[in-house]
């Protein structure tokens, strides 16, 4: 195992407050045969200089300065310059446990897997652990049809298995990536680019293994959460759904995967409705925008195609109101805070 090189790709943009913490958690890994690629995505702060300073301190670090093009394209730059046997993609405002690489590499090698999945901690802005998601799967290794029948659906929509469809919580074989000629889509093209991109990649995965430990710390830093409603948000949600279902059909995925894509579509739509209600718009304007989404033909068609009886009781009631185009009830449910109680 010691001769296996692991490439760690760290896209960097406007994170000078968190960058040292993130890089430190990588350079101090208990497994040392690493190639660390810091991709400066045209960061406007001190990150470019900080990256160069880290490279001077650790010969395993390679810095690539490039014009800003977004997270997905920065990760692709890492793929194109990677020389490792395996690759990880971490975000530069998060951090990982110091034994992340060692334990994940041991697992992926032992099972001769294409990809390994591990858990994460959800960290608030004060550094406190809000929740820990440790993978809870019936078995450690998934192969063949079980990947799309059981593993992938449970990744797309976070549930009791505690699997997240995020490249940050995985290690990939570079052989898999080269064989499939896989790259990330840009988040500027499709929101939740990880879900779309991983739906594509998992069509080529023959063996996946789950590591029942939480290594990754996902940090809710300043700017990572917003209550501001963006006018194009729902249009982007519709594009996400259309593109993901197209990818599922391209690869012949079953209804379980399509159901979970639909479930995330509803979750994102509810999130957009919540942002409208919590915005500073006048009440009448809020109701108008909520009604436009509830009555939208794309949403109504998807409600007829996808099972809406999943989720909490509050969510089911809201989805039923939306199905029957009852804009007043939908608005009241959101206004009264039903979403906070489990929608």
The closest of 140, 155, 253 to 200, measured between CA atoms, is 253
224 in a structural domain: no
**C-alpha span between 211 and 119 (Å, rounded):** 8
Domain membership flag for residue 1: no
The predicted structure's pLDDT at residue 250: 96
Q: What is the pLDDT along the chain (343 residues), one digit of tens a residue?
A: 568 999 999 999 999 999 999 999 999 999 999 999 999 999 999 999 999 999 999 999 999 999 999 999 999 999 999 999 999 999 999 999 999 999 999 999 999 999 999 999 999 988 899 999 999 999 999 999 999 999 999 999 877 899 999 999 999 999 999 999 999 999 999 999 999 999 999 999 999 999 999 999 999 876 554 456 788 999 999 999 999 999 999 999 999 999 999 999 999 999 999 999 988 899 999 999 999 999 999 999 999 999 988 778 888 999 999 999 999 999 999 988 655 655 5
201 within some domain: yes
Which residues, including other chains, have CB under 8 Å from residue 29's CB and lie 6 or more apart?
Answer: 96, 98, 99, 100, 101, 102
Same structural domain for residues 95 and 239?
no
Residue 227 placed within a domain: no
Domain, as residue range, for 267: 233-341
Question: Does any domain span residue 73?
Answer: yes
Of 167, 187, 219, the residue at which a domain comes to its end is: 219
316: Cα within 13 Å, side-chain hemisphere: 6
Q: Among 158, 192, 219, which residue terminates a domain?
A: 219
CATH at 193: 3.90.550.10
Query: Which of 157-165's residues contact partners 24+ apart within 8 Å by CB, and which partners?
Result: 157/260, 157/263, 157/264, 157/267, 158/133, 160/136, 161/135, 161/136, 161/137, 162/119, 162/133, 162/134, 162/135, 162/136, 163/117, 163/135, 163/137, 163/210, 164/119, 164/120, 164/133, 165/194, 165/195, 165/198
- 243 with 171, same domain: the answer is no
pLDDT tens-digit series, residues 105-153? 999 999 999 999 999 999 998 889 999 999 999 999 999 999 999 999 9
CA distance 154 to 172: 19
Q: What is the pLDDT of residue 225?
A: 47
In this structure, the answer to whether residues 262 and 212 fall within a common structural domain is no
Q: Please indicate, yes or no, if residue 290 is contained in any of the structural domains.
A: yes
3-class DSSP state for residue 195? helix
CA distances from 39 to 9, 76, 293, 330 (A): 7, 10, 38, 44
Can you tell me the distance from the alpha carbon of 323 to that of 190, in angstroms, rounded to the nearest whole number?
26
173 and 270 fall within a common domain: no
Asked whether residue 251 falls in the same domain as residue 205, the answer is no
Angle at 305 between CA 203 and CA 145, to 5 degrees: 25
Residue 271 domain-assigned? yes
> What would the pLDDT profile of 185-230 be if each residue is shown by its tens digit?
999 999 999 999 999 999 999 999 999 999 999 998 765 544 567 8
Q: Could you give phi then psi for residue 120, rounded to 5 degrees? A: -150, 160
Pair 310, 208 in one domain = no
- The residue from 175, 191, 219 where one domain ends is 219
Distance CA 259, CA 156 (A): 10
Task: Write down the pLDDT at residue 37.
Answer: 98
Same domain, 329 and 246: yes
237 and 182 together in one domain: no
Contact 103, 199 (CB under 8 A): no
- Contact partners, residue 320, CB within 8 Å, separation at least 6: 308
Domain shared by 188 and 214, yes or no:
yes
List b or e across 303-334, with b for residues whose CB sees 16 or more CB atoms inside 10 angstroms: beebebebbeebbeebbebbeeeebebbbebb
Q: Is residue 14 located within the same domain as residue 152?
A: yes
Could you tell me if 280 and 144 lie in one domain? Answer: no
Residues 159 and 23 both lie in one domain: yes
The answer to the question of residue 298 being in a domain is: yes
**Dihedral, 196, 199, 204, 206 alpha carbons, nearest 10:** 140
Question: What is the number of structural domains in the chain?
Answer: 2
As a whole number of angstroms, the distance between CA 250 and CA 291 comes to 33
């Amino acid at each position: 195992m010691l001769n296996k090189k692991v490439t760690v790709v760290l896209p960097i943009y406007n994170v000078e407050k968190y960058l040292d913490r993130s890089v430190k958690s990588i350079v101090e890994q208990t497994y040392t045969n690493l190639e660390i690629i810091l991709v400066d995505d045209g960061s406007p702060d001190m990150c470019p200089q900080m990256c160069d300073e880290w490279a001077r301190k650790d010969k395993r670090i390679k810095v690539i300065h490039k014009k800003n093009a977004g997270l997905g394209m920065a990760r692709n730059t890492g793929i194109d310059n990677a020389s490792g046997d395996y690759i990880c993609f971490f975000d530069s405002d998060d951090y990982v446990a110091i034994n992340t690489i060692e334990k994940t590499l041991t697992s992926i090698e032992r099972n001769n897997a294409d990809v390994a999945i591990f858990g994460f901690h959800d960290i608030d802005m004060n550094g406190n652990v809000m929740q820990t998601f440790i993978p809870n799967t019936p078995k450690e290794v998934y192969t063949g049809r079980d990947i799309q029948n059981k593993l992938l659906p449970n990744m797309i929509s976070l549930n009791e298995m505690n699997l997240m469809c995020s490249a940050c919580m995985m290690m990939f074989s570079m052989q898999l990536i080269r064989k499939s000629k896989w790259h990330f889509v840009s988040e500027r093209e499709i929101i939740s680019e990880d879900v779309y991109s991983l739906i594509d990649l998992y069509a080529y995965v023959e063996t996946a293994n789950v590591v029942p430990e939480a290594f990754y710390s996902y940090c809710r830093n300043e700017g990572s959460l917003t209550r501001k409603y963006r006018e194009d948000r729902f249009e982007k949600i519709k594009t996400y759904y259309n593109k993901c279902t197209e990818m599922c059909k391209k690869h012949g995925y079953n209804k379980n995967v399509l159901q979970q894509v639909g479930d995330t579509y509803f979750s994102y739509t509810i999130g957009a409705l919540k942002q409208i209600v919590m915005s500073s718009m006048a009440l009448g304007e809020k109701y108008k925008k909520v009604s436009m989404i509830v009555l939208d033909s794309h949403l109504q068609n998807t409600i007829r195609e996808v099972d809406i009886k999943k989720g909490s009781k509050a969510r089911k009631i809201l989805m039923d109101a939306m199905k029957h185009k009852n804009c007043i009830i939908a608005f009241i449910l959101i206004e009264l805070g039903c979403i906070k109680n489990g929608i």
